[in-house]
Protein backbone atom coordinates (compact mmCIF):
# COMPACT_ATOMS: atom_id res chain seq x y z
CA UNK A 1 0.00 0.00 0.00
CA UNK A 2 2.82 2.38 0.83
CA UNK A 3 4.40 1.73 -2.57
CA UNK A 4 1.10 2.49 -4.32
CA UNK A 5 0.79 5.84 -2.56
CA UNK A 6 4.40 6.68 -3.38
CA UNK A 7 3.91 5.81 -7.06
CA UNK A 8 0.74 7.89 -7.36
CA UNK A 9 2.24 10.89 -5.58
CA UNK A 10 5.50 10.80 -7.54
CA UNK A 11 3.49 10.84 -10.76
CA UNK A 12 1.88 14.13 -9.74
CA UNK A 13 4.79 16.20 -8.44
CA UNK A 14 7.83 17.98 -9.85
CA UNK A 15 10.19 17.19 -6.95
CA UNK A 16 9.91 13.40 -6.82
CA UNK A 17 12.70 13.05 -4.25
CA UNK A 18 10.76 15.12 -1.69
CA UNK A 19 7.84 12.67 -1.59
CA UNK A 20 7.68 10.81 1.70
CA UNK A 21 5.13 8.39 3.09
CA UNK A 22 5.04 7.43 6.74
CA UNK A 23 2.71 4.88 8.28
CA UNK A 24 1.19 4.98 11.75
CA UNK A 25 0.54 1.70 13.56
CA UNK A 26 -2.98 0.37 13.07
CA UNK A 27 -5.63 1.95 15.28
CA UNK A 28 -7.86 -0.11 17.54
CA UNK A 29 -10.45 -0.38 14.76
CA UNK A 30 -7.78 -1.70 12.36
CA UNK A 31 -7.44 1.50 10.34
CA UNK A 32 -3.94 2.31 9.09
CA UNK A 33 -3.05 5.99 8.65
CA UNK A 34 -0.68 6.99 5.84
CA UNK A 35 0.92 10.44 5.97
CA UNK A 36 1.92 11.84 2.57
CA UNK A 37 4.47 14.66 2.57
CA UNK A 38 5.49 16.54 -0.56
CA UNK A 39 7.45 19.71 -1.28
CA UNK A 40 5.59 22.92 -0.49
CA UNK A 41 5.67 23.92 -4.18
CA UNK A 42 4.00 20.63 -5.17
CA UNK A 43 1.19 20.78 -2.62
CA UNK A 44 -1.23 22.24 -5.18
CA UNK A 45 -0.54 19.39 -7.60
CA UNK A 46 -1.39 16.79 -4.97
CA UNK A 47 -4.48 18.56 -3.63
CA UNK A 48 -5.88 19.80 -6.94
CA UNK A 49 -8.73 22.21 -7.53
CA UNK A 50 -11.22 22.00 -4.67
CA UNK A 51 -9.36 18.93 -3.38
CA UNK A 52 -10.34 16.70 -6.29
CA UNK A 53 -6.92 15.07 -6.71
CA UNK A 54 -6.58 14.47 -2.96
CA UNK A 55 -10.03 12.89 -2.90
CA UNK A 56 -9.14 10.67 -5.87
CA UNK A 57 -5.94 9.53 -4.13
CA UNK A 58 -7.96 8.61 -1.05
CA UNK A 59 -10.54 6.71 -3.13
CA UNK A 60 -7.84 4.69 -4.90
CA UNK A 61 -6.13 3.87 -1.61
CA UNK A 62 -9.41 2.81 0.02
CA UNK A 63 -10.26 0.60 -2.96
CA UNK A 64 -6.85 -1.06 -2.90
CA UNK A 65 -7.08 -1.58 0.86
CA UNK A 66 -10.55 -3.09 0.56
CA UNK A 67 -9.13 -5.80 -1.69
CA UNK A 68 -6.93 -6.82 1.25
CA UNK A 69 -9.69 -6.39 3.86
CA UNK A 70 -7.95 -3.34 5.31
CA UNK A 71 -9.05 0.19 6.15
CA UNK A 72 -6.84 3.16 5.36
CA UNK A 73 -6.81 6.91 5.85
CA UNK A 74 -4.52 9.19 3.82
CA UNK A 75 -3.46 12.47 5.38
CA UNK A 76 -1.63 14.98 3.22
CA UNK A 77 0.83 17.06 5.23
CATH of the domain at 35: 3.30.300.20
Which domain covers residue 34, as residue numbers? 2-76
Helix axes 2-12, 52-66, angle to 10 degrees: 160
**Backbone region of residue 48 per phi and psi (left: phi > 0; alpha: psi in -120 to 50; beta: other values):** left
- Tell me the sheet residues that pair with 22: 35
Please report the pLDDT score of residue 70 as a whole number: 94
- 9-62: pLDDT as tens digits: 999 999 999 999 999 999 999 999 999 999 999 999 999 999 999 999 999 999
**Backbone region of residue 43 per phi and psi (left: phi > 0; alpha: psi in -120 to 50; beta: other values):** alpha
Q: Determine the average pLDDT of the residues in 67-77.
A: 95
Please report the pLDDT score of residue 33 as a whole number: 97
**What domain count does the chain have?**
1
Measured distance CA(37)–CA(30) in Å, rounded: 23
Please report the pLDDT score of residue 31 as a whole number: 96
Amino acid sequence: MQELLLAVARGLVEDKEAVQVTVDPAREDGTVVYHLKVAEADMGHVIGKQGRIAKAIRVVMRAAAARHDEKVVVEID
